[in-house]
Amino acid sequence: MRILDSHLHLWDPSRLEYSWLEGPLRTRFAVDEILAARGGDAAEHAAVFVQAECAEEQYLDEVAWVGSIAERVGVRGIVAGARLDRGEETRRYLDVLATRPLVVGVRHLLQGAPVGFAGTEAFRAGAAELVRHGLTFDACVRGAAQLRDVIGLAAAEPGLRIVLDHLGKPEVGTATAPLAPSAEWADAITELAAHPQVSCKLSGLPAEAGGSWSAVQVEPFLDVVASAFGGERIMIGSDWPVSAVTAAGWSGGDAPALDAAAIPAWTDTVARWATARDLDADAILWRNAARFYGLG
């Protein structure tokens, strides 16, 4: 089984600044850590690195650092941090990114932005620049209201290849108190999927469950996305190490804070689900991400 992880984070707080890191996440997650976390089941294991929201002035430093370790950890592409609402500054920055050989896309983190931000004139201008530079956009939003912002973006920029991170971060409950997919979220997913240039990452649900999750709990959400996007526009992502934090880690308990088997557990869950639904597991585990990010 080969795996192209479409959503891998790496960081080292001794090298770059990450104001949001706390608890079990405020430590190094780099070469040794990811190689140990993957386990040995995959015949081939590669990844797309997604920016980890270091200090904005260090975005290019993050690209350089990940590039320096890319071969050792199997990183085939980099989704760089960016601010798309800065006009000429955005254009100059994207010109620089276009010279970095591993950069395939950008992420301007939207989950903390006000609803409607992705519809502003400044942001849309930056999105149009992504099309001009041939870069993809990772949309990380929370809830149906922000999902509708992504729907508007997809309609306004049909040439922009967009991938939705973490299924749009729906409320999933926990393994012992699961929530069913809300109609509002499911409707927004269906409307977003009507735009053929948009894909979706099967990622992040363990973190949304606070580290307490089960296959039975997450499968209804995977079903909604598969029904909307089909088997050709969904791709696996580990969201490591964020989705490796256990329930004890999220609550600040004394038990081990990270699940050492988090990546194999998520991969196995998605692969079993895909097989049970007669979906092409190799496409979901590798080919769809490779096609979306232009990795051959």
User: pTM of the predicted model, to two decimals?
Assistant: 0.97
Are the CB atoms for 97 and 78 separated by under 8 Å? no
| Cα–Cα distance for residue pair 24/15, rounded to 1 Å | 18
Segment 2-14 shows an average pLDDT of 98
Q: Which residues contact 48 (CB under 8 A, 6 or more apart)?
A: 4, 5, 6, 7, 8, 75, 76, 77, 78, 79, 104, 289, 293, 295
| From 55-59, 193-197, 256-260, the region with the lowest mean pLDDT | 256-260
Residue numbers of the domain that contains 22:
2-290
Segment 128-142 shows an average pLDDT of 98
Extract long-range pairs of 268-276: CB within 8 Å, 24+ residues apart: 269/215, 269/218, 270/202, 270/222, 270/236, 271/1, 272/215, 273/215, 273/219, 273/222, 274/231
Query: Tens digits of per-residue pLDDT, 63-103?
Result: 999 999 999 999 999 999 999 999 999 999 999 999 999 99
Q: Is residue 170 in some structural domain?
A: yes
Report the pLDDT value the prediction gives residue 40, as an integer from 0 to 100. Answer: 67
| Cα–Cα distance for residue pair 265/18, rounded to 1 Å | 27
Q: Is residue 296 in some structural domain?
A: no
Q: Is residue 295 in some structural domain?
A: no
- Cα separations in angstroms, 247 against 65, 125, 128, 193, 250: 31, 41, 40, 32, 5
| Cα–Cα distance for residue pair 60/181, rounded to 1 Å | 38
CATH number of the domain to which 229 belongs:
3.20.20.140
* Percentage of the chain exceeding pLDDT 70: 98
- Into how many domains does the chain fold? 1
Give the confidence band of 41 by pLDDT, cuts at 50, 70, 90: low
Report the pLDDT value the prediction gives residue 251, as an integer from 0 to 100. Answer: 85
